[in-house]
Amino acid sequence: MQNRLRFLRTQRNWSQAELAKILGVSRQTINAIEVGKYDPSLSLAFKIAQIFRCPLPFIFLTEERSMFERFTAKAYRAIVLAQGEGERLGHQFVGTEQILIGLIAEGNGLAAKVLKSFDINLEAAQTEVEKIIGRGTGIQGVEYPFTPKGKQVLDFAIEESLRLGHTFIGTEHLLLGVLGVTDGVAVRVLEKLDVNLQNLWQEVLREITSLDIPSATIIPSRNFSNEDELSDSPPDFTSGEISARFCAFLFSWVEPRKLGHIIGSKGGFQLPNGEIVAPRISFFSRERLKRVPRTYPELVPDLVVEIKSAFDRLASVQQTIQRFLDLGVRIALLIDPDAQTVSVYRPSSKVTVLGNSEKLTVSDLFPEWELLVSELWPPMFD
């Protein structure tokens, strides 16, 4: 399997031996993975992704879409916690019971929310698990492979995600997967805790259908999923020049004052679920982005700029702007070359539309900076 492990390791200035020590494997194992002679187990792959804080599909390049690229950050964390639970009890495996504990311990996902509403707490669940499977040898393992029933949970989670028409696998799908393995230890634990399994299943589905979160429909490594998706519309000549002019104007102010980083050419940032989103232009303040990553920053920009191309519908661009605000962007600008306007969006504030004779200011990010809107448009030469 091709991968970027060597690239990520050298970016950290780690030797193979140093990375091997962190992972608890041999240097030969690291070398075999890097040259593509050895495919790591799912548990080891998760551990590598956790160390480098990158989504699995960015590190491990498969020729076809794997289930890994569809896991949300919370689902990743639940699996990592499941591995930790196996280690805590001295078992070198991950079964349905460890996945259930991981979903509870993760604490912030939809699965954790639903389980909490059924009065299922971590300590009680751990106690029941230990009663059923006991403690293992206590020997810590490098690998924590999934049991056959643990693998069934993953398979069922994928099936439920597809059935619901989702493009991701979250903690909610993993919980449905756990409930789908009716002869697993996790189901026995829930029964011991007097949980009505049918009611729990229905509550998970009810919570899923009640969600209206734009970021939940973002497709990995692409922009927002939408029939008018901006990533499918390359900028036309005019929009491209406007983008370059805006970046030049802003850069000349930001750089001497060391205010932060301006990213053009649709440079991306990474959402908490590991997915990559790319505005036309973005700005990260130096207070928030203290270290420039080699791949993608794991935080939302302070400012994003979208430029309506000749192929975009205005409503589509406005919808994308709103989704950026929903993700936590402080200020969003929509530049419309056709109307020759700049619209300024802020969360919970009325949109301000500026015309040619007006000046654009963003004083909360760039004190004293101003730009006459008419200077954005490409010059006309005789």
Residue boundaries of the structural domains of the chain: 2-61, 71-211, 230-376
Tell me the torsion sign for CA atoms 43, 48, 53, 56.
Answer: negative
The two structure tokens encoding residue 215: 């970021």
The pLDDT value given to residue 261:
95
Segment 353-359 shows an average pLDDT of 95
The pLDDT value given to residue 219:
34
The pLDDT value given to residue 266:
65
Q: Is the pTM of this model over 0.85?
A: no
The tens digit of pLDDT for each residue in 124-143 reads 999 998 888 888 775 554 45
Confidence of residue 214 (pLDDT cuts 50, 70, 90): very low
The tens digit of pLDDT for each residue in 308-354 reads 987 777 888 898 898 888 888 999 999 999 899 999 999 878 999 99
pLDDT at 218 over 50: no
Chain mean pLDDT for the chain: 82
Say what percent of the chain tops pLDDT 70. 84
The pLDDT value given to residue 155:
85
Residue 356 or 232, more confident: 356
The CATH number of domain 230-376, selected from 3.40.630.10, 3.40.50.970, 3.40.50.300, 3.90.1570.10? 3.90.1570.10
Q: Which CATH code is given to the segment(s) 71-211? A: 1.10.1780.10
Round to whole Å and give the CA distance between 77 and 310.
42
The pLDDT value given to residue 216:
38
pLDDT at 227 over 60: no
The pLDDT value given to residue 78:
85
pLDDT at 306 over 90: yes
pLDDT at 222 over 90: no
Segment 12-27 shows an average pLDDT of 89
pLDDT at 374 over 90: yes
Q: Give the rounded distance of the alpha carbon of 150 from its chain centre.
A: 24
pLDDT at 86 over 70: yes
The pLDDT value given to residue 103:
93
How many CB atoms sit inside 10 A of residue 238's CB?
A: 15
Segment 178-183 shows an average pLDDT of 89
The pLDDT value given to residue 319:
86
The pLDDT value given to residue 144:
61
Helices (H), the chain: 5-11, 16-23, 27-34, 42-52, 56-59, 73-88, 96-106, 110-117, 122-133, 148-163, 171-180, 185-192, 197-210, 237-257, 314-327
The two structure tokens encoding residue 113: 């929310």
The pLDDT value given to residue 231:
38
CATH class (in words) of the domain with range 2-61: mainly alpha
Segment 78-106 shows an average pLDDT of 84
